[in-house]
Amino acid sequence: MSARFVWRFPAEKAIYDELVLSLDGRPVRFQTIKSVMEGFADVPVGGTVAFQVSYRSQGLDEWQYTLGKDVSQVRNFSLRMKTNFTEIDFPDNTLSPTEKRRTGEGWELTWRYKNVVSGYDIAMAMPGKLQPGPLAGEISYFAPVSLFFFFFVMFIISTLRKVDLHPMNYFFLAAAFFAFHLLLAYLVDHISIHAAFIICSIVSIGLVVSYLRLVVGLQFAVREAGIAQLIYLVLFSYAFFFKGFTGLAVTIGAIVTLFVVMQITGRMNWGQQFRKVLANAVGEAE
């Protein structure tokens, strides 16, 4: 008897290259009607055949296979994916592979279900090329957090070294600090993001060191302020290059900073220290 086999395309706006419909391993002629592919073949009464569809496709940002609208039931489902990249990622609210195996150039991923009921799709997020504009915007967005760490460390260091920095000094330090983000936002449109990052780092650190050299001295400017800015501006900002690990890197840096500051100030008498600062401020006012 003649049987009709129907397969619905996972997406209408997609590419299906080398599309083959086969029964028991034998290709079958098919036709497409809108978003459905159908074929006909003779099947013995009461018999079973293995129905298979294969094709090649491509995409830029995300590949997705929809099992059906809303909650759907699928039986004897198997999908195998081979990637030529190792940085695999699965979007939120999608099904993770049931099996995965590392290959020479990427991964071999398998989704296999005997009888599954789910409202989730199968998807793969492609590793995207680093976009300079959004990256520079994200670094600039978190600039106040970076500046807070820098000022916090500078305050601790200046207190321990008995260096008196006026609020106007901190104002100029903040201006030199934000020069990095302002220059980076415009420079990434003309040169590579890595070259722009290096240039902006040199400019900002150079502004801070050259200024504090006049205010305090060269040793403090280079050893204390320069290293602090290298950590809390340059390395903090460079953490945004590692997608998925930025938050973890910043958190670890904050914890390490807290530990070091607590250890070096644990024996400090803060009450006495602030009384000295207040007395000096009153004396200067008089």
Summarised one tens digit per residue, pLDDT across range 21-46 is 887 777 777 777 777 778 777 777 77
Percentage of the chain with pLDDT > 70?
94
Give the mean pLDDT of the chain. 84
C-alpha to C-alpha distance for 243 and 260, rounded to whole angstroms: 27
**pLDDT above 70 for 107:** yes
Which residues, 6+ apart, have CB-to-CB distance to 235 below 8 Å? 253
DSSP states along 213-279: HHHT-HHIIIIIIIHHHIIIIIIHHHGGGSTTTHHHHHHHHHHHHHHHHHHHHTT--HHHHHHHHHH
Hey, how many other C-beta atoms are within 10 angstroms of the C-beta on 226? 17
Angle at 8 between CA 101 and CA 16, to 5 degrees: 60
Cα radius of gyration (the chain)? 31
Q: What is the pTM of this model?
A: 0.60
Structural domain spans, the chain: 1-58, 61-128, 132-285
Q: Strands 121-125 and 94-95, how do they pair?
A: parallel
Residue pLDDT, tens place only, 197-253: 999 999 999 999 999 999 999 999 999 999 999 999 999 999 998 877 888 999 999
Pick the residue with more confidence: 270 or 234?
234
Euclidean distance between CA atoms 153 and 98, whole angstroms? 48
Give pLDDT, residue 229.
Answer: 94
